[in-house]
Structure 1
Amino acid sequence: MRRFLREHSLTLVFAGLFLAALVGQLFAGQADYNERQAALGQPELALGPYLFSADYWVDVVENWQSEYLQFFLYVWATVWLIQKGSPESKPLDKVGPESDREQQLGEHVSESSPKWARAGGWRTALYSKSLGLAMLALFLFSWTMQWITGWYANNSDPLAEKMGLVQYFFSSDFWNRSLQNWQSEFLAIASMAILSVYLRQRGSPESKPVGAAHSVSDRSG
């Protein structure tokens, strides 16, 4: 058990932080919702009903979708786009999907390679893009959930204009919720890419070695 916890500590710690933040948002969101309801003279919600309310879930999934959009774009963009000197970027001479030798495919696979990497054909082609496709699927799922829960929350608001699901997709509320999250994710990626050229964090795989030159784009430099 101790070995398992050590080997998976990064995922486990952030999963724990996620759950703690989700619970914290539940309590804070309920308090905020009830304050707004009281100001309007509307009935308040207990914690249980609020947990299953559109008001709670639209706030949750609108953050999920922006994170998965960030990862999807980052995974795909870093195949072709580079930032000289950043460990978040590939070296300048490795732009593109790289050779079979570099990707350990074809005659370069080994017994320890994943099954679908050794299979060849459509399975290897699909597996070679599976991370980006998974992030895209999670983004589309959570964005769709934001759309539906946002529409339901909007129509549950006694002061809001009632609209259909398609009409809500083109509403200012839906796009304001989406874009205010997207811009923060894009800023974070750009900041990390450029700041990691000049700044260091000793021991982190997201940083170059402390003594590496600014112009080096990989950790071996």
Structure 2
Amino acid sequence: MALYAISDLHLSLSGEKPMDVFSDVWKDHQQKIEDNWREIVRDSDTVLMAGDLSWSLRMDSGKQDLDYLSGLPGRKILIKGNHDYWWKGITKLNSMYPDIDFIQNNSFLWDGYAICGSRGWMIPGSSTFDEENDRKIFERELIRMRLSLETAKKKADMGIIAMIHYPPTNETFQDSAFTDLFEEYGVEKVIYGHLHGNALKRVMEGNRKGVEYILTSCDHIGFRPVLIKE
């Protein structure tokens, strides 16, 4: 019963958004993911997914990608990414698939560990952070992360593993309100994604003030789920 992680699958079974237009690395990426997934993930395993599952804008097309995901081995636990526009109504989502759990102000258990998370947002101090447009969203995501962490704290026997789609620091790796939250709640590991291409040349990974940070963007991990715990 192992725990794996992968993010930023950017599925588009409808064919509307091929990923290889961004880089040859993404050529046939869906097949790469499926081949690697089926090679290592068993039905008894769980896979954490830190956002950007599908390019779909609406649930009618997004369901096609979710159906595909459900057909892969193992249990899946998801948070929302910045491109997951199909994500509507957490109660409905959590009633759709027996093998997929969706996190939004809530948490789920895996072998005594509480799995929680939120999408996050651009961090103050980032080159792209705009105080007028981004501050409100950033503060809202902080609230959502705390709500999820609170539910996790109440049910965790072994520890807490958090997911956040956006990187939890800015480009200079300064402390942020998100890293402060993870330290406050004693989070053991943080899974994140969002970064691709040139942004992968300088990333934050490893132990930082007692919290292990793991980047799981598909093109960073070779389109292969990475082992988190076993």
- TM-score, normalized by the shorter chain, greater than 0.5: no
Q: TM-score range by the shorter chain?
A: under 0.3
| Relative contact order higher in (CA < 8 Å, ≥ 6 apart) | 1
Q: Which structure: greater helix fraction?
A: 1
TM-score (norm 1): 0.28
Task: Give 1 or 2: higher strand fraction.
Answer: 2
Using the size of structure 2 for normalisation, the TM-score is: 0.27
